[in-house]
């Protein structure tokens, strides 16, 4: 397979996953912002998504104040923010257009329809109250694209690189969300175990579609150590770090064979740390320190994947890997009703 084709497939999947993960995170932040709080707490709360994505400095250089309206716009519709939902969908679509002959008609029509509706949503956006339905729509469109992909594409190298991009991005996102909750959202140490703490852990679980799974597995109150265990070590939890590395290692093995490459070695090393890890050992080390180390390793792995498979490309429509300071770390829709509206088309 040509390195350029592999790169476009990989980044198409990463950008669609990134758009979905941003929608998940912002939807939870939007709901949490409706809780009564002081102005200072509100600023700290809306700093969280900026810290997750490592864009706080960029935001502060262009926006006068950290508040819900500014952060939501920056992370949803800002064309100058490569991590915004709007820009992520645009870049996913451009990568898909570049390898149009390698993907199915259904995949292209699904993604192109999402982009057309995204542009319309941006033009029609008027109020912060419209974000909730919009974020749900983004998740549904991402699910649709993933389902169409799995249901129609040939199981060849293009499919492997699509999966690889998805799980590299998902691992990175899950780690960042978990770390920010533990260190930024909680207002003060005395609030640990209180109503705000409980609501935030529930919100975190819901942001990765893990709340129902948590109740099935633990059948108990929400405990931080168990939330961390589920999102880090539980390999049967689809968005856990362990589950993502299971997939990444399997894909790299399929691409390279048992002998593997340096990227497979790095993935295997990271997978072993998760497979044999114990949550109490992680907490003894420090959850933040563990996540920081994981983010460094997953970023190094992503860079190794680029060097091994994509180095001959000029990285069209791909963004550089960034680690935040201090936290190293179906049929497609036909354009019509805006996805912002409660009664709008959600297909």
| DSSP letter for each residue of 53-73 | HT-HHHHHHH-S--SHHHHHH
Return mean pLDDT, the chain.
84
How far apart CA 207 and CA 242 sit, in angstroms, is 18
Contacts of 320 (CB under 8 A, 6+ apart): none
Contacts of 95 (CB under 8 A, 6+ apart): 8, 9, 11, 12, 15, 316, 317, 318
Average pLDDT over residues 82-99: 97
10 Å CB burial of residue 205 (0-12, 13-18, 19+) is buried
Asked if the structure places residue 171 within a domain, the reply is yes
pLDDT band at 260 (very low <50, low <70, confident <90, very high): low
Asked if the structure places residue 347 within a domain, the reply is no
- How many CA atoms, within 13 angstroms, populate the side-chain half-sphere of residue 296? 10
Retrieve residue 251's tokens. 């894909």
Average pLDDT over residues 309-325: 55
Residue 312: its pLDDT value, please?
57
Residue-wise DSSP of 199-219: HHHHHHHHHTT-HHHHHHHH-
Q: Which residue has the higher pLDDT, 24 or 329?
A: 24
Helix (H) or strand (E) holding 326: none
Asked if the structure places residue 332 within a domain, the reply is no
- Write down the H helix ranges in the chain: 3-32, 39-53, 56-62, 68-76, 85-98, 105-124, 131-152, 157-180, 195-207, 211-218, 224-232, 241-256, 262-275, 279-285, 287-305
Percent share of the chain, pLDDT over 70: 80
- Structural domain containing residue 101: 3-310
Asked if the structure places residue 316 within a domain, the reply is no
Average pLDDT over residues 289-299: 95
How far apart CA 171 and CA 158 sit, in angstroms, is 20
Length of the chain: 347
Task: Indicate whether 262 pLDDT > 80.
Answer: yes
Residue 38: its pLDDT value, please?
55
103 φ/ψ sector (left φ>0, alpha ψ -120 to 50, else beta) = beta
Q: Is 342 helix (H, G, I), strand (E, B) or coil?
A: coil
- Lowest model confidence (mean pLDDT) among 13-22, 81-90, 287-296, 333-342: 333-342
Average pLDDT over residues 207-233: 92
Per-residue pLDDT reduced to its tens digit, 121-134: 999 988 888 898 99
Asked if the structure places residue 231 within a domain, the reply is yes
- Which sign does the torsion angle of CA 198, 204, 205, 206 carry? positive
Contacts of 125 (CB under 8 A, 6+ apart): 77, 134, 340
Asked if the structure places residue 85 within a domain, the reply is yes
How far apart CA 319 and CA 183 sit, in angstroms, is 27
Task: Indicate whether 147 pLDDT > 90.
Answer: yes
Per-residue pLDDT reduced to its tens digit, 277-292: 999 999 998 988 999 9
How far apart CA 204 and CA 28 sit, in angstroms, is 8
Average pLDDT over residues 161-174: 97
Residue 30: its pLDDT value, please?
81
pLDDT band at 17 (very low <50, low <70, confident <90, very high): very high
- Is residue 23 within 8 Å of 135, Cβ to Cβ? yes
pLDDT band at 194 (very low <50, low <70, confident <90, very high): low
Contacts of 50 (CB under 8 A, 6+ apart): 56, 59, 66, 71, 74, 75
Residue 139: its pLDDT value, please?
96
Residue 201: its pLDDT value, please?
84
Number of domains in the chain: 1
Average pLDDT over residues 205-233: 92
For helices 157-180 and 131-152, give the axis angle rounded to 10 degrees.
Answer: 150
Asked if the structure places residue 342 within a domain, the reply is no
Residue 46: its pLDDT value, please?
86
Asked if the structure places residue 102 within a domain, the reply is yes
- Residue 35 has φ and ψ, to the nearest 5°, of -75, 145
How far apart CA 231 and CA 237 sit, in angstroms, is 7
Contacts of 121 (CB under 8 A, 6+ apart): 134, 137, 338, 339, 340
With tokens 């529930």, the residue in question is 202
């Amino acid at each position: 397979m040509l390195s350029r084709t592999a790169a476009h497939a990989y980044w198409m999947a990463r950008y669609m996953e990134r758009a979905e993960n941003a929608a998940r995170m912002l939807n939870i932040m939007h709901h949490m912002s409706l809780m009564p709080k002081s102005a200072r707490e509100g600023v700290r709360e809306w700093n969280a998504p900026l810290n997750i994505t490592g864009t706080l400095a960029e935001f502060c250089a262009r926006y006068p104040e950290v508040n819900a309206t500014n952060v939501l716009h920056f992370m949803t519709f800002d064309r100058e923010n490569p991590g915004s939902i709007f820009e992520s969908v645009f870049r996913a679509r451009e990568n898909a257009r570049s390898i149009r002959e390698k993907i199915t008609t259904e995949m292209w029509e699904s993604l192109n329809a999402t982009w057309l509706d995204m542009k319309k949503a941006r033009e029609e956006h008027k109020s912060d109250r419209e974000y909730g339905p919009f974020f749900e729509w983004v998740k549904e469109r991402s699910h649709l694209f993933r389902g169409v992909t799995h249901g129609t594409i040939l199981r060849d190298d293009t499919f492997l690189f699509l999966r690889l991009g998805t799980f590299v991005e998902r691992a990175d996102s899950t780690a960042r969300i978990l770390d920010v909750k533990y260190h930024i959202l909680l207002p003060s140490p005395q609030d640990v175990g209180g109503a705000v703490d409980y609501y935030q852990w529930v919100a975190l679980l819901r942001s990765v579609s893990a709340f129902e799974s948590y109740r099935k597995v633990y059948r108990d109150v929400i405990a931080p150590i168990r939330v961390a265990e589920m999102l880090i070590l539980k390999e049967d939890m689809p968005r856990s770090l362990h589950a993502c590395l299971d997939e990444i290692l399997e894909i790299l093995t399929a691409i390279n064979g048992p002998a593997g490459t340096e990227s497979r070695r790095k993935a295997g090393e990271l997978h072993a740390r998760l497979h044999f890890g114990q949550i109490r050992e992680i907490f003894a080390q420090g959850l933040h320190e563990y996540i920081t180390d994981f983010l460094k390793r997953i970023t190094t792995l992503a860079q190794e994947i680029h060097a091994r498979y994509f180095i001959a490309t000029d990285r069209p429509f791909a963004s550089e890997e960034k680690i935040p300071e201090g936290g190293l770390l179906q049929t497609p829709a036909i354009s019509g009703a805006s996805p912002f509206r409660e009664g709008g088309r959600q297909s």
